[in-house]
Amino acid sequence: MIRFVLKAISLFALVVAIMAGTIDAIQSVSASEPVLTPLAVAWSTASPDTIALVADSIMRNFPYAWDPAAMWVLSQPAFAVLLIVSLFFWVIAYRRPPVAGRFTA
């Protein structure tokens, strides 16, 4: 059950990453120059309430991590961060196939 939830989170992050990458590609073609939307801009555009809630909780619980870590992640391209999140959850949910093969007793 937990693997299913982790794979579902991974799939959702992958779909949103593809959407963000597609939007960036369309904007890049129309501007005739590379356009990479930072995660903070994409997130605040999609849901300003949740980014404020997450920022507030991080600043309250981990004030030493806000400036170096969270600000760096929020300044990276949205599609790249979401691809890494998707890969992270997929790796956690991955189960190796049996060594002996599929048809062993």
- Per residue in 30-78, pLDDT tens? 999 999 999 999 999 999 999 889 888 888 888 887 777 888 999 999 9
* CA dist., res. 47 & res. 22, Å (int): 19
Which pLDDT does position 45 carry in this prediction? 92
Percent of all residues in the chain with a pLDDT value above 70, rounded to a whole number: 98
Query: Residue 22: pLDDT above 70?
Result: yes
Handedness of CA 17, 73, 92, 94 (dihedral sign): positive
Residue 77 pairs in a beta bridge with 38
Percent of all residues in the chain with a pLDDT value above 90, rounded to a whole number: 68
Query: Residue 100: pLDDT above 90?
Result: no
Query: Residue 104: pLDDT above 70?
Result: no
**Side-chain half-sphere exposure of 59, counting CA atoms within 13 A:** 8
- Read off the pTM: 0.83
